[in-house]
Structure 1
């Protein structure tokens, strides 16, 4: 099995585990952890999107090999210095391509890192978001999940759509993995 095959197998295994975990968590009304799982799935997807935008297949292969070796992604920049690829770099690229990634990723991060969002049973974290972040989430939820949301909506109105969000992310992610296997190159 070559590096690309192994990498794609890892991506699919993680995604399958995320789907199973999400289902158990949602059934048990553990919604904060559902957001965390969605964020993990999105994390994998933005990495694949980033890889698909690297036209140099050798550099792409190097990043894949670094993942398999447990190393951080880095490259030699135009100043001949080592530069790490950060989550922010990948999220920004995916956001430029999709227009929704940053808000969803940031919202999910708040459920991964200890924050006031963990008090969602008492205080609605969606209501505390800045209007621009709400608008991005509302736009995404309306366009892709037929959710009837507005700035005054509650987290509970979003929660009912989470299984559809998970399904959409995982199906889009599978398409991205197939593109990676086919060595396609996307451009920004």
Structure 2
């Protein structure tokens, strides 16, 4: 694999992550929580992409996807032109982290125009199923100590948003370093 391309790709991911970290702090200070969740979704996007690359044992195929990123091309498999979808990447990440699907789904709801962006006037979590709300509470509790008796609403999760971001960001940093070393997911 072309080490220069891998390192450049990793540098791009790290630069994006650093910018996300700065943005999260500013957005939290300004109480722009919908944008915080959008940034969380973008950070997760980086993480699932790096995990997807790490799941590929064929280093030539991995290089193909990295080159597509560097050329500004949407990821597709060579010769077939089958597109790599966000769903594929999120499903893969979800095998390792059950929470990634919920961060992704919630983030998408804030990136795309939906009733969830009306969070200052209503509880956006009520738009999710009861089981999805319970799963989110469970993951917030497991990883960040969220009290299970609390209602899942924006006011109650605001103190956990930076913790969720830091969890995604630290996992991303770990995977970027593994990608830089040409490792595979099966190796750890």
The alignment's TM-score, normalised by the length of structure 1, stands at 0.93
Counterpart CA distance in 2 for 1:127 and 1:75 is 38
Counterpart CA distance in 2 for 1:75 and 1:108 is 26
Q: Point out which structure has higher relative CO (alpha carbons under 8 A, 6+ apart).
A: 2
Structure 1 stretches lacking a partner, 5+ long: none
Task: Summarize the Cα distance change of 1:38–1:104 in structure 2 as closer, same or farther, 3 Å threshold.
Answer: same
RMSD over aligned Cα, in angstroms? 1.7
- Number of the residue aligned with 1:129: 128
Q: 2:28 aligns with which of 23, 26, 29?
A: 26
- Number of the residue aligned with 2:185: 186
Counterpart CA distance in 2 for 1:153 and 1:74 is 38
Counterpart CA distance in 1 for 2:66 and 2:50 is 10
- Number of the residue aligned with 1:167: 166
Structure 1's consecutive aligned runs of 4 or more residues displaced over 4 angstroms after TM superposition are none
- Number of the residue aligned with 1:55: 57
Structure 2 stretches lacking a partner, 5+ long: none
Which moves more between the two structures, 26-35 or 134-143? 134-143
Instruction: State the number of aligned residues.
Output: 185
The offset of 1:151, in angstroms, is 7.6
The answer on whether the counterparts of 2:41 and 2:107 sit within 8 Å (CA) in structure 1 is yes
- Number of the residue aligned with 1:142: 141
SS in 1 for 2:82: strand
Task: Summarize the Cα distance change of 1:141–1:110 in structure 2 as closer, same or farther, 3 Å threshold.
Answer: same
- Number of the residue aligned with 2:111: 112
Counterpart CA distance in 2 for 1:140 and 1:103 is 9
Counterpart CA distance in 1 for 2:80 and 2:53 is 21
Counterpart CA distance in 1 for 2:97 and 2:149 is 21
Task: Summarize the Cα distance change of 1:138–1:63 in structure 2 as closer, same or farther, 3 Å threshold.
Answer: same
The offset of 1:149, in angstroms, is 3.2
- Number of the residue aligned with 1:87: 86
The answer on whether the counterparts of 2:48 and 2:93 sit within 8 Å (CA) in structure 1 is yes
The offset of 1:150, in angstroms, is 4.8
SS in 1 for 2:31: coil
- Number of the residue aligned with 2:19: 17
